[in-house]
Amino acid sequence: MKGLARCLGWLAAVLLPASGALALEPAERVANFPTGTLVLETSGDRCLRINVRFADTPERQSQGLMFIEQMDEFEGMYFRYAPPSEINMWMKNTYIPLDMVFVRADQRIARIAFNTTPFSETRISSGGPVSGVLELNGGFAGRWRLRAGNRVLLVE
């Protein structure tokens, strides 16, 4: 709980009105996706603020990050699922490698698929019921020491 309290204190200190300007390119591919913020608790004694686009409808979930050529370091896409269920993702038409962070209903990371392969149609499983999947640039989870059990706080 100490780590989460630290993250919440940090969040209160840094949350300013969001500009909503995310750098996903080409931006028109995701222009209609809602935006928000989440905070990641890391194993490296840090809290990271991530600007996200929400894939919150079946149509947006089908599209995801397909055809996106570039994404900033602290930017991602969050897929929501209710009720929690086992999820299978793939990288069809996805140009950039991604780290897929599978998030349980208790807001803890269940597992991470590291550096997924662009254009692959191989299924990437959550390995159990999850309520969300956070997609980040490939290598992000390793650089920032994300691990199973770390917390993900949706701020929106």
pLDDT string in tens for the chain (156-residue length): 455 555 655 555 444 434 445 678 888 899 999 999 999 999 877 899 999 999 999 999 999 999 999 999 999 999 999 999 999 999 999 999 999 999 999 999 999 999 999 999 999 999 999 999 999 999 999 999 999 999 999 987
Strand 75-89, strand 109-113: pairing:
unpaired
From residue 8, how far is each of 11, 41, 46, 89, 99 by CA, in Å?
A: 5, 10, 12, 30, 24
pTM of the model: 0.88
For the domain covering 2-14+35-154, report its CATH number: 2.60.120.1140
What are the structural domain ranges in the chain? 2-14+35-154
Closest among 22, 154, 16 to 76, alpha carbons compared: 22
Strand 152-154, strand 75-89: pairing:
unpaired
